[in-house]
Amino acid sequence: MNVVIFVPEVHFHAPVVMKELFEHFKDGSVRFNVVLTPKISSNKKSSASLSKVIKDSGIKYLVLMILLKIKFDLFRMMEKIFFRPSESRKYMSPVDVCLGYGISYMVTENVNSRETVEYVKEIGPDIILSLFFNQILKPELLQTASKRCLNLHPSMLPEYKGMSPILWMLSDGASKGGITLHEMTSSLDSGNIISQKEFEISGPDSFFTVYRKAAFAGAALLVDFLSPSNTASSDIPQPEEGQIYGPITRESLDLLLKKHSFLRFRSKDLR
């Protein structure tokens, strides 16, 4: 089975899912390729452009994300300095994981470009998997998959559809989070639900630790789904209700910071 994974080039938790998948299927029963896109787009019209991020969510959000990346990269560097083997590292980039497991990848600014579509067509994927992705896959790209196009979304759909679901649920003071594996359709986060997993959110949790929980839960869903022994999965039509969220706002970010830390995580607390 061929699976093409679409993932941001910079992401703290997608590598958790990738490692679990690559390790579980290192026997070659599932063959992976990866397409990476920049976290911040150079296209000023994109919702992922720097100017749009600042306009929607404010300088405070951008500064917090930069500080989070600095902290993450510091731990990542320390693991490399002390020669911790890649299979036991907690802090890796998507590229690190690909190199560690010998997985082919490409980096593209526009996932729907002719070059990217041709690259994916040449692979001939059975499954396309969107993993915490930051661009919308257009029909021409989705049609390259012979079987299914799937998305891993970090909420219990139909709750928190759209962008930044974990930020929004923390801002709302949610006591539970979750992850959903679902079919991709032309409507945002609205395809049939394949499987879901819920987890607790506690006071000590931060944006980082909740996202980490979602990543491990999502990895378990995907391993089960892709395993040859999986015969029990079935699609459940998703209820039509459910608010679609945009980028986190300044006001909602302030509410989040009153309830949870943005930056808190300790290496000893993470597996």
Residue 158, preceding peptide bond in cis (omega within 30° of 0): yes
Cα end-to-end distance, the chain, whole Å: 29
Taking the C-alpha atoms of residue 86 and residue 128, their distance in angstroms, rounded to an integer, is 26
pTM here is: 0.91
- CATH number (domain holding residue 208): 3.40.50.170
Check pLDDT > 60 for residue 47: no
Structural domain count of the chain: 1
Task: Calculate mean pLDDT across residues 27-31.
Answer: 93
Task: Calculate mean pLDDT across residues 249-265.
Answer: 92
The residue segments making up the domain with residue 101 are 2-269
Q: Which of 138, 152, 144 is nearest to 189 (CA)?
A: 152
Which segment of 57-71, 102-116, 219-233 scores lowest on mean pLDDT? 219-233
User: What is the tens place of the pLDDT at every residue in 88-127?
Assistant: 788 999 999 999 999 999 999 999 999 999 999 999 999 9
Categorise residue 89: left if φ over 0, alpha if ψ from -120 to 50, beta otherwise. beta
At residue 177 the predicted structure's pLDDT band, cuts being 50, 70 and 90, is very high
